[in-house]
Homo-oligomer: A and B are copies of this chain.
Amino acid sequence: MSQGNRGVVYKGPGKVAVESIPFPELSLGKRKCEHGVILKVITTNICGSDQHMVRGRTTAPEGLVLGHEITGEVIECGRDVEFLSVGDIVSVPFNIACGRCRNCKEGQTGICLNVNPARPGAAYGYVDMGGWVGGQTEYVMVPYADFNLLKFPDREQSMEKIGDLTLLSDIFPTGFHGCYTAGVGPGSTVYIAGAGPVGLAAAVSAQLLGAACVIVGDMNPERLEQARKFGCETLDLRQDTPMADMLEPILGEREVDSAVDAVGFEARCHGHNHAHEQPATVLNACMDITRAGGRLVFLAFTSLKTRAPLPAKPGWVTCPCASGWVGLSRTPSIPVNVQ
């Protein structure tokens, strides 16, 4: 079975193009890849991390086929695939994992030892993550399919909700994992920095985990309105008011139990300077408003190099350190060498 395929290709800073690309094969270089499947892509999403690449802020090579958020239909199975069949609708986790190495056995699929010759960990369509072809395409190959894929139990039901289910490949688990790692549970008060897709997924995850109060901060009033629609409190960060002063009328306290940064390194100052980029601003804000003994999680890349001095407040930071950057507590993590 060989046919046409098209995909989103990175063409250099600021440029992408939809181009013809090869139809995927069940192979890894010259080796057959009998544990893989070929998917017809049903839905895909554009990640904030894609934007870092497209904006030229990484070392992504021209020609990289983008896309690590994939939902699709199995159209071909390798011989070693036992628990999937042609016609299954599946969600693809953005991390690629073998399911057989020490890290995978410990649940650390984000740093699988067998899918990237350069370093532990791989992803589809991503700079320095093993060179795998991405899924902003018509067709894509997924290796170790029995281990990697999440099969939806009912085809018809899943197609009815496919717009929601597409969030399962990255956006929702990233937000959920942030809250989980930040210790959110019944009765928690939580601050979510950023009301983009991952921030809103974190906010709804905090509710699912039983949080008593979820507070979302952003500078975009439409995003904040969206957060309020499902029961969050919001902080409009275009104001100059110190964050603790904004928290107090909501919580009766000036601190939260947990904070999740869903903004990342292209962060801007809050208040009247908010047009100015300042990578450390969210990290500092989260430390400032999280109680001693609470937990902070950074879901996105944050540069240590450009970090402003940390504030005078103790707190625990859970962060993988990757290549000159601190941050990134995705599901489980993408270590990326961003310059």
User: Could you tell me which A residues sit within 8 Å of B by CB distance?
Assistant: 34-35, 79-80, 82-83, 98-103, 105-108, 111, 113-114, 119-121, 146-147, 153, 176, 186, 205, 208-210, 252, 287, 292-293, 304-305, 307, 309-326, 333, 335, 337
Contacts and interface: CB of A to CB of B under 8 A. Distances in A.
Which 5 A-B pairs rank lowest in CB-CB distance, beginning with the nearest?
A314-B335, A80-B80, A120-B292, A100-B146, A111-B292
A24 to B, nearest CB: 19
Given A79-B79, A105-B147, A121-B314, 17 more contacts: A82-B114, A99-B99, A99-B147, A102-B293, A103-B292, A103-B293, A121-B292, A176-B186, A186-B208, A210-B210, A310-B324, A314-B321, A314-B322, A314-B335, A315-B320, A316-B320, A317-B326
B323 A310 contact: yes
Given A100-B99, A293-B103, A304-B304, A316 B314 contact: no
Contacts of A153: 252
Given A120-B292, A292-B120, A317 B321 contact: yes
A84 B319 CA distance: 34
Copies of this chain assembled into the complex = 4
A82 to B, nearest CB: 7
Contacts of A102: 293
A333 to B, nearest CB: 7
Contacts of A79: 34, 79-80
A103 B186 CA distance: 17
A321 B315 contact: yes
A161 to B, nearest CB: 14
A39 to B, nearest CB: 18
A325 B209 CA distance: 32
Contacts of A147: 99-100, 105
A269 B309 CA distance: 23
Nearest to A211: B208
Contacts of A333: 314
